[in-house]
Every structure is written in C-alpha cells, then in structure tokens.
Amino acid sequence: MVQTPLQTLSDAQEWDLSDLYQGFDDPKLEEDLQELDRRAQAFRGQYRGQLAHCSPSEVAIALQDLEAIHQKSGYLYAFPSLKFSADTRDSQAQQFEDKVIEALTQIENQLLFFELELQALDESQFAQLQEAEALSNYHHYLQRIAEFRPHCLPEAVEQTRNQDVLTGREAFITEEGV
C-alpha cells in the first residue's frame, strides 16, 4: 500500500516532551513562568546598580544565578517551540510560543542591566574580573562582554531593541515562516 503524505504525517513519531511539561494545561508551566519572573525581579533588585561594588566572587555568584535563570528560560521556550515545530498547524502551540516569547522578552529586559553594567566598568576593574580565579568558568563570557564594550547603548534603548523580537522583523519572519 502506498502512503499518502497525510497518512505519513499522521503516523509520524512525536517527541516525548513530558520531561519538560505534560501539556499546555500543565499548571507547572504557568508556575515556572511566574517563578522565573520573580527570580528575574529579585536578581535585578539585588544587583542593579551594585555591580561596580561587587567582588569577583560576588560576580561569580551573580553569574551562576543568571545562568540558572537562562537555563529555565530555555526549558520554558523549548516546550512550545518543539510542539509547534512538530505541527505548525497547531494554533495552541503557536499561541503559547508567542506568550512565552513575550514573557521571556520581559524577563530579558529585567536582566539586561547586568551586561550593561559589566560593560560600563572602568578598564582596571573589568581587567580584575577577567583575571579573577573565581570567574575562570566565565572567561569566554567576559571576553565577549569586553568585545562589545565600545558598542554599549543605554538600557532603555537595548530594551526597545529586545521588544523588536515581538513586533519587528523577527516577528514578521516567524509569522511568514508559518
């Protein structure tokens, strides 16, 4: 028997994403989004305007916190993104992916200050961080920050650029790709 494309599609294997969430109605998904927002707000409250006064060990702790926030962001984004990738006709997956992108953009805007404050440190203080043993795991990250130091924009401008993901060229490309 010859299979039609529709039969092949309906018989296709699905990813088992239950390690992430059970479905779009899984309460853990919404809880994780809210918890991530709380963590980002707490991070901002603790470190914004304080980075110039932090020791290398304190910056390492901050980076570990930031890393954990980004890791959770990745899980939150992966679930609807993979669901939508598996079936681009799934409007629920598309809507939830849009919701997660919007929430993660807001979270990213709360955290944006961190890199900007690192970029704004004076040369000697930044060099001290780059040479600190406590930050050896973050050498590449600090090197990337150093490369972009001359191209630093104010936080409000960078936040606006992040919002373009929702309404600008990237949003258009996502909609057109569907």
Per-residue pLDDT of 118-162, as tens digits, reads 998 999 999 999 999 999 999 999 999 888 776 665 555 555 655
Q: Which domains does the chain have, with CATH numbers?
A: 25-177 (1.20.140.70)
| List of residues 6+ apart from 19 with CB closer than 8 A | none
Size (the chain), residues: 178
Per-residue pLDDT of 55-67, as tens digits, reads 999 999 999 999 9
pLDDT averaged over every residue in the chain: 83
In angstroms, rounded to a whole number, what is the distance separating the alpha carbons of residues 125 and 21?
43
Q: What are phi and psi of 115, to 5 degrees?
A: -65, -40
Q: Write the DSSP symbol of residue 121.
A: S
Q: Is 14 helix (H, G, I), strand (E, B) or coil?
A: coil
